[in-house]
Structure 1
Amino acid sequence: MTKVTPRCIIVRHGQTEWSKSGQYTGLTDIPLTPYGIQQMKRTGKSVFSNKFINPEHITYIFTSPRQRARQTVGLILETLTEEQRSNIRIVVDEDLREWEYGDYEGLLTHEIVQSRKSRGLDQERPWNIWRDGCENGETTKQIGCRLSRVIARIQNLHREHQKENRPSDILVFAHGHALRYFAALWIKNGLEEKYDTSFDPPSATYDDETVPNVTMEKYRYLVENPYFLLDAGGMGVLSYAHHNIDEPALALAGTFIAPPEEESQHEPVVA
């Protein structure tokens, strides 16, 4: 039996009126547009009919609690049979909500920049959300902490599934800033680490007894723009090098899966 490396497939929700206009949409709970609905129906049909994702390999779906993300989950799974859908555990995870933008909710980037400039801010360097966060919203350390928790839970599940020799695709449905941040944390590229977990809430932010909570001694956060793009309705794939859960990696081929005879570069490293 061919060894299948676990994957974390990230999916940004379909188009909304604010994703279309470019307005910052954090806690504002708006639905998909008619275009966004059809967009995600087509995406679901394509990824399953083309075998980019084998529905039998999906072990979990983690989703933001916002309706635009949860609506996208239903549309992606629409073409699956009732039996296939019943085998996929869906976890609503508050940690996957979008960046809390505070005073910047509903604004465009140039409006935020102009507002800050008019109040004498950013004299020495331009505002950078990845480093500076949002006024009366979340800091980069706060969102970094909660997304680090999600990653720890997913990688722990992958580790257990790999021990069982069980194929495991875990799908994560969330938002533009959150998923770009999530991907940067996953590959651990150019990040700061913090050992103070004082933001960590006393209880988990999801309710599923099959997902063990992972206690963290440290978490990672961004200090610069990771320069990742993910449009509304976009999909990306995160996985592991050499079948090793301790080597998280970005799968540049996306959801495309190479045939087994082309996978030699993913073989475990022999000491």
Structure 2
Amino acid sequence: MSELIVVRHGETEWSVSGQHTGTTDIPLTARGEQQARHLLDDLGERDFAAVLVSPRQRARRTAELAGIEEIEVVQDLTEWDYGDLEGRTTAEYLAEREAAGLGPWELFTDGAPGGEDAAAVGARVDRVLVRVRAELERGDVLVVGHSHTSRVLVARWLGLSPGHGVGFLIDAAHRGVLTYKRGVPVLQHWNVPPTS
């Protein structure tokens, strides 16, 4: 059975600090580059039917360092547009809301102020999954993207609403494997670290 392998890019300075990184195009750290070099080591030799990659340099560089030579850049795989939260941490935003007397906030439930909500990210991911399902007829597919978009992707793969992505944490340079069991989309592995 063919597999969809979902990879989050390697570490960046902002993934370490917890800053929301949607539209900002920042590079991998030296550690992120090292992570990327070993990201797929334990998968064995594979000829992917398709390798779909976010246009952000951190995702493209991760694919390159993992040894992938032929990629297709897919705009729909960009990270969540965080709008007013870009470059800020969740803790900073929650403290600001508390100081203003506002209630709790959660990205997957409430969306990003001035940016996307879960439904918008879900619509993008659904377009990617149409392509992925067609390519899985020919073999394994690799997707190299980001944290929150990948979380929505796994939710949509399983037939859940985009907001259910909140339950699928994925760390930098980690991956998941999605496949089918008796024709039903399933999550086989999630948040698997690189081997080194």
Alpha-carbon offset, residue 68 of structure 1: 0.1
Q: Tell me the amino acid that sits aligned with residue 78 of structure 2.
A: R
* Alignment match of 1:133 (pick from 102, 111, 116): 111
Alignment check: 8 A CA contact 1:128 1:225 kept: no
Render the CA deviation track for 1:199-218: whole Å, top value 9, x for unaligned: xxxxxxxxxxxxxxxxxxxx
Distance 2:116 2:134 in 1: 26
**Does the residue aligned with 1:252 lie in a helix, a strand or coil?**
strand
Q: Tell me the amino acid that sits aligned with residue 66 of structure 1.
A: R
* Alignment match of 2:145 (pick from 171, 174, 181): 174
Output aligned runs, 1:26-105, within 5 Å.
26-44=22-40, 46-47=41-42, 52-56=43-47, 58-77=48-67, 85=69, 89-105=70-86
Give me the identity figure in percent.
Answer: 40
Alignment check: 8 A CA contact 1:12 1:173 kept: yes
Distance 1:108 1:170 in 2: 32
* Alignment match of 2:131 (pick from 148, 153, 176): 153
Out of 35-44 and 6-15, give the one that drifted further. Answer: 35-44
Q: Tell me the amino acid that sits aligned with residue 54 of structure 1.
A: E
TM (norm. structure 2) is: 0.91
C-alpha distance 133-253 of structure 1, shift in aligned 2 (>3 A): closer
Alignment check: 8 A CA contact 1:237 1:254 kept: no
More contact order relative to length (CA 8 Å, sep ≥ 6): 2
Alpha-carbon offset, residue 152 of structure 1: 1.3
Alpha-carbon offset, residue 66 of structure 1: 0.1
Render the CA deviation track for 1:231-267: whole Å, top value 9, x for unaligned: 100011000112x2xx211113888xxxxxxxxxxxx
Distance 1:28 1:158 in 2: 31
Alignment check: 8 A CA contact 2:19 2:89 kept: yes
* Alignment match of 2:173 (pick from 233, 240, 246): 233
Alpha-carbon offset, residue 230 of structure 1: 0.9
- 1:250 aligns to what? 187
Number of equivalent positions:
192
Distance 2:71 2:35 in 1: 21
Alignment check: 8 A CA contact 1:15 1:35 kept: yes
Alignment check: 8 A CA contact 1:11 1:172 kept: yes
Distance 2:28 2:38 in 1: 14
Output aligned runs, 1:107-122, within 5 Å.
107-122=88-103
Aligned CA-pair RMSD: 1.8
Alignment check: 8 A CA contact 1:238 1:251 kept: yes
Q: Tell me the amino acid that sits aligned with residue 84 of structure 2.
A: D
Q: Max radius of gyration: which structure? A: 1
List structure 1 segments (4+ residues) > 4 angstroms apart after TM superposition.
none
